[in-house]
Amino acid sequence: MFFTILLAACASTDRVDEVLQPVQEELAPAETPAPPVPNESYGRLQQTLSKIGVEPIGLEYEATAFHELLIKIFSDPRMHKRKVKTVFSGEKMAYDKKAESLTIGGNSKEAEIFSFVAKEVPKRR
């Protein structure tokens, strides 16, 4: 219906420039936002994890406090004996036995993490 009214309005005028106006300026191309910069503490976390053969997945943009918690956790000798190949952050603690991947919940405390690992993550032989 709107299109019909617009068509009728255009047809009723003698001058096209009354209905359509020329573009005054060219629009600048849309700028893409810069990708987020990884947190500085991520490098230290990578080093800590690589020493024990654990790969961090998707942790580069986590907060410094979370990185520091993971550094503290994975620096502990109790973690060196566990079957963990990859570590993720997530909403809650989880362990995938087949993939040997550990998900650390974002609100987890050190004691909660060690307790979960002791119960759910098998030791290496």
Residue whose C-alpha is closest to residue 73's, from 49, 96, 89: 49
pLDDT digits (tens, 9 = 90+) for 83-105: 999 999 999 999 999 999 999 98
pTM of the predicted structure, to 2 decimals: 0.69
pLDDT tens-digit map of 50-63: 999 999 999 998 99
The residues spanned by each domain of the chain are: 41-120
For the segment 3-30, the average pLDDT, to the nearest whole number, is: 61
Kindly indicate the confidence band of residue 111, based on its pLDDT and cuts at 50, 70 and 90.
Answer: very high
Using one digit for the tens of pLDDT, what is the confidence trace for 13-25? 556 556 666 666 6
Q: What angle do CA 95, 122, 83 make, to 5 degrees?
A: 75
